[in-house]
Chains A and B, each alone.
Chain A
């Protein structure tokens, strides 16, 4: 007893550490169901964060640019060049001004898509700088299942709309789900080059870029090629637009061709996404 009393603190600390390590090792794999505790916390906090996230969006509209002051000089020069070019476009654009915002993308894609989708709002981003993950405000009540593909409408060319890939659902609660985007380190996407039908695998990185390699090292791929998901492995629905190749690098040693891509979606400015539920 004397021993217990003397080292009470240390024993407690070590116990907590052991418990935490057990939890970490048990939950580090892909899990099938979320725990009850997770469900309760998620159900309680999601409605609140939904409100604050909308407020944050509005606040950021006013203040967001103030915090970009580091790039201000460079941006200023660039913008001056753009202004003159843009002024001549204004007349043309006034014709289609009702269609120019984000909602047009979403409306077009809802019209053209073959899949059944649920539109949902993003309610929170993972704090910290390691991951690109977020939570959305729809869950199993709206028939979202674990592994569902998350998309957003993007304009590939003038007037041509496509489903652009955002990520996939990893956990589902009643009225919320966690989404891992394709720029996250943990996610890999199998793709095909639409021009030549060559396949390969892409994955995200800690720095937030997306790069990958082609299965065939003699495949003909050039900068500017458009990539679509191939559906291999069943993780993502096939034929969804990923982005354009921005860099090709062939290495003799590894017998592979590495490519870096520019995703079609701007992951820093996500607000609403569509979840495929069929």
Chain B
């Protein structure tokens, strides 16, 4: 429940206030950052489901074609939740690596979809969109959020009582 509230709050802030804080014309994708942190903390089930929800809300609010964002976010959430087990838990490198790679993944898959929806897009545009300042920007936000909410994000892995 708390996660859903955070998701909605993030979507609203992202679409209303964040466009004013763009650096070199690039707006940070805080939904993606949020998703990465959720899947790092909660594993693949939470990750993929909240990916679906975030993507669907974003699609419904803003784009004509439904489903692209939901599919990408779903895959990102699942994969990060899947790999997360093999990484050390309390490590500041984790959010950086995952945010950077999922930002690139997002932009690459998005441009593939654009191509197949017959929107003209050149290879150089894809490259420049993939390796843009957005990666740095997202990673920065991700690290800051991770530092701030570390206590909430890192729950103990072994539980002795029933939920």
Which residues in A have some Cβ–Cβ distance to B below 8 Å?
Answer: 13, 16-17, 20-21, 23-24, 27-28, 30-31, 37-38, 41-42, 45, 48-49, 52-53, 55-57, 59-60, 63-64, 67, 70, 123-131, 133, 135, 170-171, 178, 180, 185-186, 206-207
Cα distance A184–B130 in the bound complex, in angstroms: 19
Flag if A20 contacts B67 (CB, 8 Å): yes
Highest count of chain A CB atoms <10 Å: which of B16, B22, B52, B58: B16
Cα distance A123–B62 in the bound complex, in angstroms: 11
The one of A20, A38, A129 in contact with B71, judged by C-beta atoms closer than 8 angstroms, is A20
Residues of A within 8 A of B117 (CB): 28
Flag if B60 contacts A41 (CB, 8 Å): yes
Flag if B70 contacts A171 (CB, 8 Å): no
Residues of B within 8 A of A27 (CB): 64-67
Flag if B125 contacts A52 (CB, 8 Å): no
Could you count the A-B residue pairs with CB atoms below 8 Å apart for me: how many are there? 126
Cα distance A24–B69 in the bound complex, in angstroms: 10
Residues of B within 8 A of A17 (CB): 71, 74-75
Flag if B113 contacts A56 (CB, 8 Å): no
* Interface residues in B62-119 (C-beta closer than 8 Å to A): 62-68, 70-71, 74-75, 78, 110, 113-114, 117, 119
**Closest chain A residue, CB of each to CB of B18:** A127
Q: How large is the interface on B (under 10, 10 to 19, 20 to 34, 35 or more residues)?
A: 35 or more
The one of B17, B58, B68 in contact with A59, judged by C-beta atoms closer than 8 angstroms, is B17
Flag if A49 contacts B16 (CB, 8 Å): yes
Residues of A within 8 A of B8 (CB): 45
Highest count of chain B CB atoms <10 Å: which of A16, A59, A64: A16
Residues of A within 8 A of B58 (CB): 127
